[in-house]
C-alpha cells in the first residue's frame, strides 16, 4: 500500500478544493498522508485542518504552484514519511 494519496485541485474553483481536501484527509488510513496540489496558497484550509487535528506542510510545488502535505497529528508513520520528503528536497548536492 502506498502511503501517499495525491489530490490535484489546481483546476477547481472554490469551494471545491477546500471541500475535497477535507474529505480526502478524513479518509486517510494509518500511515497515509495527502499531497494536495493547488495553483495558489489555500489559506482557508489551514484553520479547518487545525480544528480537525491534522498537521500540514506547504511548499512550492514541483508539478503545481503549491503542494500541501497533510496527515493526522497522531500518525507518526505519516509524519515521518512527509519529513523524509521535506528533508530530501531540502538537500542539495554539489
Domain ranges of the chain: 4-90
Distances from the Cα of 6 to the Cα of 25, 48, 77, 93, angstroms: 11, 19, 17, 27
Query: What pLDDT, on the 0 to 100 scale, is given for residue 89?
Result: 78
Would you say 37 and 6 are in contact if contact means Cβ atoms under 8 Å apart? yes
Distance CA 6, CA 29 (A): 14
CATH class of 4-90: alpha beta
Q: Are strands 4-8 and 33-38 parallel, antiparallel or unpaired?
A: parallel
Structure confidence by residue, pLDDT tens digits, 9-66: 999 999 999 999 999 999 999 999 999 999 999 999 999 999 999 999 999 998 899 9
User: Averaged over 66-92, what is the pLDDT?
Assistant: 91
Question: Which pLDDT tens digit goes with each residue over 66-78?
Answer: 999 999 999 999 9
Amino acid at each position: 500500500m502506498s502511503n501517499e494519496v495525491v489530490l490535484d485541485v489546481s483546476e477547481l474553483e472554490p469551494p471545491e478544493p477546500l471541500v475535497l481536501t477535507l474529505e480526502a484527509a478524513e479518509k486517510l488510513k494509518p500511515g497515509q498522508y495527502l499531497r494536495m496540489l493547488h495553483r495558489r496558497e489555500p489559506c482557508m484550509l489551514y484553520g479547518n485542518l487545525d480544528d480537525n487535528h491534522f498537521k500540514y506542510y506547504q511548499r512550492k510545488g514541483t508539478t503545481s504552484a503549491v503542494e500541501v502535505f497533510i496527515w493526522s497529528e497522531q500518525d507518526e508513520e505519516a509524519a515521518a514519511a512527509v519529513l523524509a520528503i521535506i528533508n530530501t528536497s531540502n538537500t542539495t548536492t554539489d
